[in-house]
Amino acid sequence: MFYRECGVRHTTYAADRALAVIPFERVMLGVLIAAAAAAPWLVPDLFLVSYLTPWLIWTAAILGLNLLMGWAGQIHLGYGAVMAVGAYSAVHLARAGAPFVLAVIGGGLAAAVVGSLFGLPAMRVRGLYLAMSTLALQGIVDWLLVQVPAISGGAQATLLVPRPDFLGLPLATDAARYWTALAFAVLVALFVANVRRTDVGRALIALREKDYAAAVIGINVFYYKALAFFVSSFIGGMSGAVLAFMYYRAVTPEQYGLHVSIMAVAMVIVGGLGSIIGSFLGAGFILLAPIWIEHGLRQLAAALSINISPSTLAHMPLVIYGALITGFLLLEPLGLAKLYDNVRNYLRVWPFGYTKK
Amino acid sequence: MTFLAELAINGALVGLMYALAASGITLIYKSSGVVNLAQGGFVMAGAYLVWAFIARLGLGLIPGILAAAASMGALGWLTERLALRRMIGQPVIMILMLTFGLEVVLRGLVPGTLGADTKPMPIPISQAPVWLGDILINRTYILGGAVAIVMVALLALFFRTRAGIAMRAVSDDHLASWAVGIPVERTVALSWAVSGGVAAMTGVLWGAVQGVDWSLSLLLIKALSVAVLGGLDSLAGVVIAGFIVGVLESVISGYVDPFVGGGTREVVAAVVIFLTILVRPYGLFGREVIERV
């Protein structure tokens, strides 16, 4: 219906390879970005600060992880550590007087260097073993963060983040923080969407399908694996830094612990491996669904006047979050992106449902 | 010298208890090639169940432990039947995340319903240490190490029974096992059930050492390091790797902690995993898998 391709024809290769081929998608994207830009006037402040801003920053982070997991097919259970390196480096740079943008880029570079270390085992092993070695590295980085006072100031310490500005323009209001997050997420999304169309993207996909086979057809497996880890860690580090500057406004080691790595992988899988809209939906779903479901359950319990002990209530978000991960894996392993795709494919050929695309 | 011996002996006993936790991972990996990241959650749930059966329902010590082991066996079996079996053929990361999702659920559900505060494991072990010459040994560790050895020996014997031989065949080749009439699915489910029972036993020992609360699930990293170093599919490897990890952890933290301000114990297991995978991915005794395109 809406996604009609009737009358869409391409006379150049460039048009054929455009990011959004179907006219409706172009319109929808424009409307979505316009609405996102106008959000500070449309939604309440609380909603903006505590839901939309982290959602956008997490989308950027998940796009970076999805580049690695979805396109290059490498498992990474230590993304939280990479984000931590980015956040701490950026904050230290900013405290030393670097401007916000340079601090974030510096944080990204530091994270990329450390993240390439995570990629080291990928040169030898993959799959299960890669998962376990990245898990171990997460533990090591966590430990270093807590134990080296020069980085974190000690286990219990909180580093305050200096007030960021952009080219001399102070980013002090909630709306300014939100717009920074939005601009960052859009930039990263554009980058990742374009990587998919280049030779690098094709090489990564070949790598994902089977690295030996990719090597046989002339892809330098070492180089592209290292590149995938480097770029994804760069994005992750910058996201960690932006998260620290625009959302937390202070950094502590627990903000980027193992549970964050697990959450990031859950976002990628629930969203859909190798999908851009999936990264956006997955980040939002894992971030917001447990909060809302818990809220709903509390109200339900209150309405039915069931007494739930505080201890049970305190553990409920954890149960819901875990159940969402397992439930999605069992019922829709391809994630939210697949659900979106189902609707899109249905509408593309509507009313001729039998011409399956 | 006494200090070193004390650290080494206590470390070795702790390492044996790690080995018991790791043998649950090894069992499942042998039969189905899945690494169960929920093993820490299983251990925690097992410990909670033992506590609940003994302290809440008033069962005796042995019946309580047996009831908990049986319940955990049922939980392991159900996990395979309802969740893992549907994931056959999915990418590794999906299966890993599924088990991690289970871990998160258990970590929320069990303390949420049975109480989050640390509970003493109702086992009558005296807190007084055992003196071996000048060397001081924790009594709980001795019992734990002994039970761990007995359990691993029992598992080794189990692999000589009919069901155990079927499990070895399944670990070798699913297709060939089907061809000779071994019920592969049922055998894999059995390995999950046995692993659940082992987790309950591990829960008893570790619950006695550090009390029953959610932090028992952190045993996962230690168990994983032991299993990886041992080679993931070797029971003998698990015992030897348990010794190595336990002694390393105890000796390194004993000597290095005073200089760096403590906490080295937590990172040794992670370093062991990383170095093992970098240098010798198939571990000390694991089977080297030759990959073909």
The alpha carbon of residue B158 is apart from the nearest alpha carbon of chain A, in Å, by 27
Looking at residue A321, its amino acid is Y
Measured between CB atoms, which of A77, A315, A321 is closest to B111?
A315
Measured between CB atoms, which of A69, A312, A329 is closest to B101?
A329
Q: Within 13 Å and on the Cβ side, how many CA atoms surround B71?
A: 19
Mean pLDDT score of chain A, rounded to an integer?
Answer: 88
Residue of B nearest to A155 (CA): B263
Phi and psi, residue A219, nearest 5°: -95, 130
Chain B contacts of A316, Cβ < 8 Å?
108, 112
Q: For residue B119, what are the β-bridge partners?
A: B212
What confidence tier does A355 reach under pLDDT thresholds 50, 70, 90? low
Determine the Cα–Cα distance for residues A48 and A147; give it in Å rounded to an integer: 35
pLDDT at B193: 95
A262/B104 Cβ within 8 A: yes
CA distances from A269 to A85, A123, B25 (A): 24, 24, 24
What confidence tier does A71 reach under pLDDT thresholds 50, 70, 90? very high
How many Å from the N-terminal Cα to the C-terminal Cα in chain A?
14
Q: Is B130 on the interface with A (CB under 8 A)?
A: no
Mean pLDDT within A147-161 = 75
- Which pLDDT tens digit goes with each residue over B24-35? 999 999 888 889
Q: Is B258 on the interface with A (CB under 8 A)?
A: no
The alpha carbon of residue B119 is apart from the nearest alpha carbon of chain A, in Å, by 15
B103/A318 Cβ within 8 A: no
A315/B108 Cβ within 8 A: yes
pLDDT at A356: 59
As given in the structure block, the two tokens for residue B250 are 């105890």
Q: Is B54 on the interface with A (CB under 8 A)?
A: no
pLDDT at B172: 82
As given in the structure block, the two tokens for residue B90 are 């999915």
Q: Is B256 on the interface with A (CB under 8 A)?
A: no
pLDDT at A119: 87
Looking at residue A79, its amino acid is Y
What SS3 class is residue B130? strand
Q: For residue B171, what are the β-bridge partners?
A: none
Looking at residue A13, its amino acid is Y
DSSP per residue over A188-250, as a string?
HHHHHHHHTTSHHHHHHHHHHH-HHHHHHTT--HHHHHHHHHHHHHHHHHHHHHHHIIIIISE
A120/B278 Cβ within 8 A: yes
CA distances from A48 to A41, A79, A175, A261 (A): 10, 26, 8, 24
Residues whose CB falls within 8 Å of the CB of residue B279, separated by 6 or more in sequence, listed in order: none
What SS3 class is residue A261? helix
- CB count within 10 Å of CB A198 equals 10
B 144-183 near A (Cβ less than 8 A): none
B278/A129 Cβ within 8 A: no
Chain B contacts of A146, Cβ < 8 Å?
263
Residue of A nearest to B33 (CA): A128
pLDDT in tens, chain B (293 residues): 788 888 899 899 999 999 999 999 999 998 888 899 999 999 999 999 999 999 889 888 899 999 999 999 999 999 999 999 988 888 888 899 999 999 999 999 999 888 888 888 887 777 777 887 778 888 888 888 999 999 999 998 998 999 999 988 888 888 999 999 999 999 999 999 999 999 999 999 999 988 899 889 889 999 999 999 998 888 889 999 999 999 999 999 888 887 776 678 888 999 999 999 988 888 888 887 776 65
Beta carbons of B281 and B237 less than 8 angstroms apart: no
Residue of A nearest to B37 (CA): A132
Measured between CB atoms, which of B83, B115, B277 is closest to A330?
B83
**Global ipTM:** 0.87
The alpha carbon of residue A99 is apart from the nearest alpha carbon of chain B, in Å, by 34
Looking at residue A191, its amino acid is F
As given in the structure block, the two tokens for residue A234 are 């760069």
The alpha carbon of residue A266 is apart from the nearest alpha carbon of chain B, in Å, by 7
B273/A135 Cβ within 8 A: yes
Model pTM score: 0.90
pLDDT of A1 higher than 70: no
